[in-house]
Structure 1
Amino acid sequence: MGLLEGKTVLITGGARGQGRAHALASAREGADVVIVDIADQIGTVPYAMAREADLAETVRQVEALDRRALSLVADVRSQAQMDQAVASGIAEFGHIDALIANAGIWTQGQFWELTDEQWQDMLDVNLTGVWRSAKAVAPHMIERQAGSIVLISSVNGLEGGPTFAHYTAAKHGVVGLMRTIALELAPHGIRCNTIHPGAIRTPMTDHQGAWDMFAGHPGGTEADMIEGGYHYGALKGTTFLPPEVIANAALYLNSDLAAAVTGVTLPVDAGHLVLPGVNGAPVR
């Protein structure tokens, strides 16, 4: 018996990266999955976002684990689309036991130079989209008097982030949202927690803009990103982490192992948040 045997997990931003890792980890532990992704580009995002082919590949990998997957193109910025995604998942599998609100974007800019569009897109996806996702599953979970909601924040939900104030503000907002959801849904037997990823290697972080940030100048390389990652965490031998480490944390929170865990902010960051700044002498 897997940790999620007989359960259904809905994952937003599930086409690739952390979202795919969540789908596969849930499936390996016995869950069927509802995978939601916009599968399109948002204008202010400088890197290529997932497409329907990525969504199809996640489904293929889940089915290779002998679990069922329902893929849906939907935008977390639309309540109607998220409500329909939940309804479709219930129609397909009969119930939704857990939500992983993973969909997110990342862009950069000094706070006084951010455009209205950059600010609004960030909050619409990374904060309002999380609220809409939780709002969509809540009535079903309340009816069943059970459920687990995992909201993906960031270490920047617990500390500042220079050159991405809009991202930091949204991720801090997710923490406040989580704490309120945990309070409001506790009487219904529903838990809510946040995960705070550190430096995770996904298409959102592995592109020229991110390389330049870690290099500290234009023309950065993948090697600059990896070197920067060594200085980001405290644990020996860690640079950018694979998305599976976040999926494992969500797996724990959605399982009965965490039956008494709610309202928790869980960093998965190789010790980044305990550092007094950066790690000046990383041990490789």
Structure 2
Amino acid sequence: MGRLENKVALVTGAARGQGRSHAVRFAEEGADIVAVDVCAPLDTPYPAATPDDLAETAALVEKTGRRIVTAQVDIRDLDGLRAAVDGAVETLGHLDVVVANAGICIPAEWDAVSPELFERTCSVNVTGTWNTVMVSAPHLVRAGGGSIVLVSSAAGIRVQPFLVPYTTSKFAVRGMAKAFAVELGEHHIRVNSVHPCATATPMADESVLGILGPALEAHPRLAGMFTNILPLEQAQPEDQTNAVLFLASDESRFVTAHELAADAGVTEY
């Protein structure tokens, strides 16, 4: 306990799933939290997070005794996101850790991907992640350093089928982390990416599996691309939080421009 004592951490997509797990664990480790989520439909096959979900995250953080500031904002809205983060930093005093976790995934075979689906995925996963860094990095510069963790995916290291927009966006996030690391390093800011495998969150619910299942049945040669080395099927959000926490903490003070994959070996198969 106490690995993030007296730090302030921003987590996007914090209403549920991995984002909630990160926020609560960070609070248990001593951090105050800025929790951001759109809490509105994004035309995904799985249900969107709700304001009640974000309120539950806040309650869980407050139960640890730490402070939390929440904001319901779309990460694609640069001005709105900046106002939310600036206001939270004014309340909490500083910012030390950023976890750009928010993202969407809409599986489809390549010839079923519409321009709208492609644009929506990239605007959330790429532009939204860029926005998150742009509004938060100046606070880390003023604080004299910090850690930024961009959540990519196993699909950002090794291609996975029926996910052209998602894979494209997550490779971009991986490159973005390295690019920011180069320029922010002089300010003692570390930037890394994490690459989760399939994790038990609403993004991996039956509606998503209902799309992937028939596609894999129609193209069985590609099924092995989802096979883990370890005999494990789905990670839990806490498994990914352990990786994110390491990168957020001072234990990783010599780690930057790195991709960390808590993926049961799926990217090496």
Report the TM-score range of the alignment, normalised by the length of the smaller protein: over 0.9
CA separation in 1, counterparts of 2:216 and 2:109? Answer: 15
The answer for unaligned runs of 5 or more in structure 1 is 219-227, 276-284
Give the 5 Å matches for 1:233-248.
Answer: 233-236=228-231, 238-248=232-242
1:5 aligns with 2:9: no
For residue 208 of structure 1, report the CA deviation from its aligned partner: 2.2
Residue aligning to 2:263: 269
C-alpha RMSD over aligned residues: 1.7
The answer for unaligned runs of 5 or more in structure 2 is 218-222
For residue 141 of structure 1, report the CA deviation from its aligned partner: 1.3
Residue aligning to 2:14: 14
Give the 5 Å matches for 1:93-104.
Answer: 93-104=92-103
1:26 aligns with 2:26: yes
For residue 81 of structure 1, report the CA deviation from its aligned partner: 1.3
Residue aligning to 2:73: 74
For residue 92 of structure 1, report the CA deviation from its aligned partner: 1.3
AA partner of residue 127 (structure 1):
V
CA separation in 1, counterparts of 2:202 and 2:137? Answer: 30
Contact 2:162–2:212 under 8 Å retained in 1: no
Say which SS state the counterpart of residue 261 (structure 2) adopts: strand
Residue aligning to 1:113: 112
Residue aligning to 1:52: 51
CA separation in 2, counterparts of 1:254 and 1:58? Answer: 19
Residue aligning to 1:208: 207
Contact 1:151–1:174 under 8 Å retained in 2: yes
Say which SS state the counterpart of residue 257 (structure 1) adopts: helix
More helix as a share of residues: 2
TM-score (normalizing by structure 1)? 0.89
Contact 2:104–2:203 under 8 Å retained in 1: yes
AA partner of residue 74 (structure 1):
V
Task: Give the fraction of aligned pairs with identical amino acids, expressed as a percent.
Answer: 38
Residue aligning to 1:255: 249
Contact 1:151–1:193 under 8 Å retained in 2: yes
AA partner of residue 229 (structure 2):
A
Say which SS state the counterpart of residue 208 (structure 1) adopts: helix
Say which SS state the counterpart of residue 112 (structure 1) adopts: helix
Residue aligning to 2:178: 179
Equivalent residue pairs, number = 263
